[in-house]
Amino acid sequence: MTNEAKLPASMSKLIEQVSDELLKEQRPKLAAMFRDCFSNTYQTTIQRLKDGSTFVITGDIPAMWLRDSSAQVRAYLLLASEDSSLADMIEGVVKRQMQYIQLDPYANAFNIEPTSAGHQQDLTQMSPWIWERKYEIDSLCYPIQLSYLLWKATGRTAHFNDAYRSAVREILHLWRIEQDHEMKSPYRFQRLNCPPTGTLTRDGKGSPVGYTGMTWSGFRPSDDACSYGYLIPANMFAVVVLGYIAEIAEQVWQDASLSLESTKLAAEIKVGIEAFGTIEHPKLGTMFAYETDGLGNFNLMDDANVPSLLSIPYLGYVAESDPVYQHTRSFILSDENPYFYKGKAAQGIGSPHTPDRYIWHISLAVQGLTASSREEKLRILDMLADTDAGTGLMHEGFHVDDPSQYTRPWFSWANSMFSELVLDVCGLSIKKLLRDRVNASHSS
């Protein structure tokens, strides 16, 4: 998978188009970086399999994360309507994801075959197919989002087959169970001889939670354990994709019952977010917490990974102009967020997953994608270009004073997020693509 594949003509054409736009902005380095970052996932991480599915490694880890694989190919949706081969590749990613969800909806990362690679010593229900079994809500959200966007970008519905429908029912069933984690959940996870963030407390059950209507998550999208089991941005993401499921059920399957079930669950989770997921900040007013337990405890921070509080509009839960989001954004992009760092080279959001004072390229890209002005987007892009450590690629985290100190030299998700921001600045966002398709269908 590390042998560089030849780029499709549609991808080369888009790279040239974007490069021309960036050169007009007098940003030649960004043009060169976009070429390398946008092509990175396609050339180095994708493997088409004989069954028509697509296996996507994260980069320097030879496993397929449900979350990462979705984010890695998302920008290619811009080309999927005109390039059937790319659309087939993305459809293959969805097919492989649904196969994995049916194998175990609690797992977050999988092997290409039942090789028993990965964290087989963890105390949980492992199988040879599973690389890691950390349960994260977003692992189930991302494949639904990708499949929905593929439908909207291309009009394809073949991927909404019986296997997909079965996986969706697994997801709904799991999220129902995890609304009452204390009484109903069979999930346990323990990892021995690791930092506290790598395992769950209470013999693998996690810290206590009360019923809120939200659905529980063992781990964050960083793969770190949640301090409190209701991860607010992940629950927001669940609300959004439950709306997608309802639409698919109604328009593709003509299944009013499943549509209603999805809508009802989304409403319950949303009520829980509104009742338990906000706090009154003494200066900023109402804002979202990162985590809560439904028992009066809150975690006020933001992490670099998506879903994050910063990414709420990117996920489609509320608009950038939403006042509660703006209050939250002000908090998390300030020193009050314990993982917001300022240094000689950059400022932005890091993570407890990486060393102290390390900022993530993913979080900077999200900051740009959710910015209200083109000027801020360009400022963030320039910061990304200035912190690549001369590699032309994005990394996981880098030291706020010295970008040459970084983690993960080959991290496809970060490259894809950078590419999305560049495309957004050039007027080629996924959001715009979908909006234009809707407008075209209404005018025809």
Axis-axis angle for helices 28-44, 374-386 (nearest 10): 70
181 vs 293: CA distance, rounded Å = 11
Tokens of 274: 């509104």
Average pLDDT over residues 119-127: 98
Considering only residues 429 and 73, tell me which one the structure prediction assigns the higher pLDDT.
73
The residues near 350 (Cβ < 8 Å, ≥ 6 apart) are 304, 339, 340, 341, 356, 357, 358, 359, 360, 363, 397, 400
How far out from the chain centre does Cα 188 lie?
23
373-390 pLDDT, tens per residue?
Answer: 999 999 999 999 999 999
- Cβ neighbour number for residue 408 with a 10 Å cutoff: 19
300 vs 331: CA distance, rounded Å = 9
Average pLDDT over residues 42-47: 97
Best CA proximity match to 53, nearest among 101, 102, 1, 89: 89
Q: Is 351's pLDDT higher than 90? A: yes
Q: What is the pLDDT confidence band of residue 431, given thresholds at 50, 70 and 90? A: confident
Lowest mean pLDDT among 127-136, 392-401, 427-436: 427-436
- Output the pLDDT for position 441: 63
357 vs 360: CA distance, rounded Å = 10
- Output the pLDDT for position 287: 98
The secondary structure of 406-435 as a DSSP string is: BS-S-BHHHHHHHHHHHHHHTT--HHHHHH
| CA-to-CA dists, residue 80 to 8, 97, 151, 158, angstroms | 11, 19, 10, 15
% pLDDT > 70, the chain: 97
Average pLDDT over residues 186-192: 98
Report yes or no: 216 and 181 within 8 Å, Cβ to Cβ: yes
Token look-up 């092509």 returns 39
- Output the pLDDT for position 437: 72
- Output the pLDDT for position 213: 98
Q: What is the pLDDT confidence band of residue 104, given thresholds at 50, 70 and 90? A: very high
352 vs 407: CA distance, rounded Å = 13
Q: How far is it between the farthest Cα atoms of the chain? A: 61
Average pLDDT over residues 237-259: 98
Q: What is the pLDDT confidence band of residue 339, given thresholds at 50, 70 and 90? A: very high
The residues near 52 (Cβ < 8 Å, ≥ 6 apart) are 88, 92, 95
Q: What is the pLDDT confidence band of residue 432, given thresholds at 50, 70 and 90? A: confident
Average pLDDT over residues 177-193: 98
Considering only residues 434 and 228, tell me which one the structure prediction assigns the higher pLDDT.
228
- Output the pLDDT for position 415: 98
Axis-axis angle for helices 232-251, 162-177 (nearest 10): 140
Q: Is 2's pLDDT higher than 60? A: no
Q: Is the peptide bond before 307 cis (omega within 30 degrees of 0)?
A: yes
Q: Is 1's pLDDT higher than 60? A: no
Report yes or no: 290 and 303 within 8 Å, Cβ to Cβ: yes
Domain 64-336 fold is Glycosyltransferase (1.50.10)
Q: Is 67 exposed, middle or buried (0-12, 13-18, 19+ CB in 10 A)?
A: buried
Q: Is 438 exposed, middle or buried (0-12, 13-18, 19+ CB in 10 A)?
A: exposed
- Output the pLDDT for position 350: 98
Q: What is the mean pLDDT of the chain?
A: 96
H helices of 277-360, in order, are: 312-315, 323-332
Tokens of 241: 């994709």
Domain boundaries, the chain: 1-44+339-433, 64-336
Average pLDDT over residues 337-358: 98
66-90 pLDDT, tens per residue?
Answer: 999 999 999 999 999 999 999 999 9
What values do phi and psi take at 392, rounded to 5?
80, 5
73 vs 38: CA distance, rounded Å = 10
% pLDDT > 90, the chain: 95
